[in-house]
Structure 1
């Protein structure tokens, strides 16, 4: 099993970041994400916690040798469960691959929370556990190493893409506020 962890600070308040997260795809930095479909969404009336289950379809540029070893194509499916707690100001996203999970399992947890030292910022923590289950140990280690490297690259590109989405989101929010102040929003 290979482990990954990254912590990043976004210079925006949690409310903005957690709202913009739903607009993350599509974006030019992550063309591998083809579709994001909401399967289920519910709100706990007592706590205000919003739980969303999504199916994410991605096209992975996996080397043909790895595809042959795993017996898979380039289209992959990921199940994601997102939990927004508006009182605690946390957005927790847990995902797991559905495609070929018996051979290679990637379990990811992302948490967006108010930065512990600066309330005007949002702390982003991303963790993943990557394990090649039923693959022989030598091959399993090679597949895990490759997958970890790919995950690290995709994580960096994903953060970059989300930063661009956030910037556009801020511009749109500022324009909407300007129109509201000027009375043009009617």
Structure 2
């Protein structure tokens, strides 16, 4: 059996700020488990003008007691692929674990777009799939654990993005004040 997750969320920030925050979201106080983020590949697609990026993210987690017999190292590597199209103001991301995939594969898709009800806001649709082929009667338990953990961490992830968005807003306000001071001389 496969477990699924779906959620739509709105940031009260414009699309440019939200997509910038996506790239700057680590480190933040809500993601202390993220150890490193490395860009593997990045290029502009000449046909669409879209920026395509592949990153490798290393995270450390805490395993439940019942999972410690299956996984020796709680370190996990995640591959993140993204396509950002400034013309259509959409960003699509896909992440999936490349370690521990024999126990459970977690795949997440996110679509960032201008909110159709308010162009100053950004809508983010998140979908995730949890698949375990572990067997031994543990498939359901593993997928349920993955879904619960993902649901809990989604809230932390949004808090982390909001934290970064506030830092961006503060920098923009500070930059605006400096420019006003230059013009008032």
Give the TM-score range, shorter chain.
over 0.9
Helix, strand or coil at the partner of 2:138:
helix
Q: CA deviation at 1:46?
A: 4.1
Q: CA deviation at 1:88?
A: 0.8
Partner residue of 1:6?
Answer: 7
Partner residue of 1:160?
Answer: 159
Determine the C-alpha separation between the residues in 2 that align with 1:43 and 1:178: 34
Helix, strand or coil at the partner of 1:138:
coil
Determine the C-alpha separation between the residues in 2 that align with 1:65 and 1:137: 13
Partner residue of 1:171?
Answer: 170
Gapped runs of 5+ residues in structure 1?
none
Q: CA deviation at 1:72?
A: 3.3
Runs of 4+ deviating beyond 6 Å: none
Gapped runs of 5+ residues in structure 2?
none
Q: CA deviation at 1:177?
A: 2.2
Helix, strand or coil at the partner of 1:130:
strand
Q: CA deviation at 1:63?
A: 1.6
Determine the C-alpha separation between the residues in 1 that align with 2:42 and 2:179: 31
In the superposition, the TM-score normalised over structure 1's length comes to 0.93
Determine the C-alpha separation between the residues in 1 that align with 2:34 and 2:144: 22
Q: CA deviation at 1:45?
A: 3.2
In the superposition, the TM-score normalised over structure 2's length comes to 0.93
Q: CA deviation at 1:31?
A: 0.6
